[in-house]
């Protein structure tokens, strides 16, 4: 693979901003988009800006409907699912909220999550458990931010309604043994939801092999536009209560004797109420084409190399500790750093963005929507304590890692 050539597909990487070279290390939030994704969106907006579905039947709509169907088919194939098992959502957060709010949960039941989960997973289930008086159980992690399946087994029982887990942590980068955890959930007749927001961009997914009931992720973290994906097994999706309803979710709404009698469509349509973000759906099709062209196995291999390099470089800086597993096979390329210095991660991120002479290094500082994990690790996010996060993608280079760690070491020397 010619990784330097691939960078040409991302024009912002080859542009100077304020006269400085861009080093983009905030990929866990949102990746860059290749030209082909931007082109697909522009093509929709310029050439057939209609709505899909059966509302209109003119040329714009037919084109849009065809491309949206294609995108659903491509996406489904990409994760080894069926098109009828893919629901478009706004983002991962909405996908998880959809499930949390639509599951049938009883008072005597419990929901099992983990301390490595993002707020977008913890809070929807916290809310639902508060409303239903079900118990929310949190599985804690080891010092290295790993959790083995046995720890989940201790919390899952015959009263567990759902086990909702992160596939890869957005702070520690840890990859969780989700297949074993799902198996334990199923042995207890519980459902399993996997938040793949930080896994799907980096490694191939086979939802059938995982046997997940739900799998959620965000296209904006994997080269696409802002769009969320909810995969659900067809029968499980159709058993959920309705969530948002409205236009395009029904076959018919009869009006008889002063009563409305709606007949809802099966999934996925029953969950896709109202006009959708067709530009994003079509852009998603282009992003999937691009990821397939590069190959997820090549992306994985490339990122393992970048991970090794980052680990090696950071281990040589004495004032910095990496959160999460040292073994790169157990993690994705997201590095949250604890700075054992008086300088705050926020100040470091600001310095890297604005004060370096030649580079604009874009990082993230704070608790990364994972406050409970930061508290668990001994930090106090309410006092501004947190970590400095560098999250990489395949278009980042070993040279960029060298620049980052060199500048970090230099800055920490300065504030000694």
Ligand X SMILES: Cc1ncc(COP(=O)(O)O)c(C=O)c1O
Catalytic machinery residues: 369
Within a 13 Å sphere around the CA of 174, how many CA atoms are in the beta-carbon half? Answer: 26
Instruction: Give the pairing type, strands 135-139 and 110-114.
Output: parallel
Residue 65 touching ligand X (CB under 6 A): no
Question: Distance between CA atoms of 310 and 30, rounded to whole angstroms?
Answer: 20
Decide if 210 contacts 194 (C-beta within 8 A): yes
- Return the number of the residue (91 or 405) whose C-beta is nearest ligand X: 91
CA distances from 263 to 2, 260, 266 (A): 53, 10, 10
Q: Edge-to-edge, what's the strand order for the sheet holding 359-362?
A: 16-17, 20-24, 359-362
In whole angstroms, the minimum distance from the beta carbon of 207 to ligand X comes to: 17
In whole angstroms, the minimum distance from the beta carbon of 173 to ligand X comes to: 11
- Return the number of the residue (227 or 411) whose C-beta is nearest ligand X: 227
In whole angstroms, the minimum distance from the beta carbon of 297 to ligand X comes to: 22
Question: Distance between CA atoms of 203 and 216, rounded to whole angstroms?
Answer: 14
Please tell me the count of residues contacting ligand X according to CB under 6 A.
Answer: 14
In whole angstroms, the minimum distance from the beta carbon of 168 to ligand X comes to: 7
**In which residue are the tokens 């399946």 written?**
149
- Return the number of the residue (109 or 218) whose C-beta is nearest ligand X: 218
Q: For residue 416, count CB atoms less than 10 angstroms from its CB and return exposed for 0-12, middle for 13-18, buried for 19 or more.
A: exposed
Q: Pick from 120, 249, 396, 397: which binds ligand X (CB under 6 A)?
A: 120
Beta pairing partners, 155: none
Residues of this chain, 154-213, that bind ligand X according to CB under 6 A: 166, 170, 195, 197-198
Q: Which two tokens stand for residue 155?
A: 């919390």
Among 231, 221, 222, 207, CA closest to 290: 222
Q: Pick from 27, 93, 110, 313: which binds ligand X (CB under 6 A)?
A: 93
Decide if 259 contacts 71 (C-beta within 8 A): no
Sole window of 70-78, 90-98, 207-215, 273-281 interacting with ligand X (rule: CB under 6 A) = 90-98
Residue 118 touching ligand X (CB under 6 A): yes
Q: Pick from 31, 61, 92, 110: which binds ligand X (CB under 6 A)?
A: 92
Q: Which helix (H) or strand (E) holds 337?
A: strand 334-339
- Return the number of the residue (197 or 240) whose C-beta is nearest ligand X: 197
Question: Strand locations in 167-238, DSSP E?
Answer: 191-195, 214-218, 228-232
In whole angstroms, the minimum distance from the beta carbon of 126 to ligand X comes to: 14
- Return the number of the residue (51 or 111) whose C-beta is nearest ligand X: 111
In whole angstroms, the minimum distance from the beta carbon of 198 to ligand X comes to: 5
Q: Given CA atoms 142, 145, 148, 153 in this order, what sign does their dihedral have? A: positive
What is the 8-class DSSP label of residue 151? H
Sole window of 87-95, 138-146, 174-182, 259-267 interacting with ligand X (rule: CB under 6 A) = 87-95
In whole angstroms, the minimum distance from the beta carbon of 177 to ligand X comes to: 16
Q: For residue 15, count CB atoms less than 10 angstroms from its CB and return exposed for 0-12, middle for 13-18, buried for 19 or more.
A: exposed
Residue 31 touching ligand X (CB under 6 A): no
Sole window of 102-110, 114-122, 277-285, 380-388 interacting with ligand X (rule: CB under 6 A) = 114-122
Name the site residues for ligand X (rule: CB under 6 A). 28-29, 91-93, 118, 120-121, 166, 170, 195, 197-198, 218
């Amino acid at each position: 693979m010619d990784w330097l050539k691939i960078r040409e597909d991302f024009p912002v990487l080859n542009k100077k901003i304020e006269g400085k070279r861009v080093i983009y290390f905030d990929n866990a939030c949102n990746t860059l988009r290749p030209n082909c994704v931007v082109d697909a969106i522009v093509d929709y907006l310029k050439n057939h800006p209609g709505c899909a579905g059966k509302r209109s039947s003119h040329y714009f709509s037919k084109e849009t409907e065809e491309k949206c169907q294609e995108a659903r088919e491509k996406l489904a194939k990409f994760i080894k699912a069926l098109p009828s098992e893919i629901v478009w959502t706004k983002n991962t957060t909405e996908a998880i909220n959809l499930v949390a709010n639509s599951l049938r949960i009883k008072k005597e039941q419990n929901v099992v999550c983990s301390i490595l989960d993002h707020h977008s997973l913890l809070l929807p289930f916290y809310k639902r458990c508060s409303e239903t008086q079900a118990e929310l159980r949190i599985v804690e992690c080891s010092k290295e931010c790993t959790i083995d399946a046995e720890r989940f087994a201790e919390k899952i029982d015959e009263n567990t309604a759902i086990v909702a887990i992160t596939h890869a942590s957005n702070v520690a980068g840890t990859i969780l043994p989700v297949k074993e955890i799902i198996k334990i959930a199923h042995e207890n007749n519980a459902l399993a939801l996997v938040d793949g927001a930080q896994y799907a961009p980096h490694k191939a997914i086979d939802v059938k092999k995982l046997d997940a009931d739900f799998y959620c992720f965000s296209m904006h973290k994997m080269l696409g536009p802002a769009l969320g994906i909810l995969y659900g097994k067809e029968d499980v999706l159709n058993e959920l209560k309705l969530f948002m309803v409205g236009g395009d979710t029904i076959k018919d709404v009869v009006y008889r004797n002063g009563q409305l009698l709606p007949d809802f469509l099966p999934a996925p349509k029953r969950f896709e109420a109202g006009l959708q973000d067709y530009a994003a759906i079509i852009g998603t099709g282009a992003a999937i084409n691009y990821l397939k062209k590069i190959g997820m196995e090549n992306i994985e291999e490339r990122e393992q190399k970048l991970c090794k390099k980052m680990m090696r470089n950071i281990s040589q800086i004495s004032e910095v500790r990496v959160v999460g597993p040292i073994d790169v096979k157990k993690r994705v390329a997201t590095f949250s750093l604890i700075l054992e210095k008086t300088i705050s991660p926020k100040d470091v991120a600001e310095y890297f963005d604005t004060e370096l002479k030649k580079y604009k290094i874009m990082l993230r500082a704070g608790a990364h929507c994972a406050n409970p994990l930061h508290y668990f690790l001994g930090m106090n996010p309410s006092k501004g304590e947190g970590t400095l996060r560098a999250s990489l993608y395949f278009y980042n280079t070993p040279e960029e890692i060298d620049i980052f760690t060199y500048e970090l070491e230099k800055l920490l020397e300065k504030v000694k």
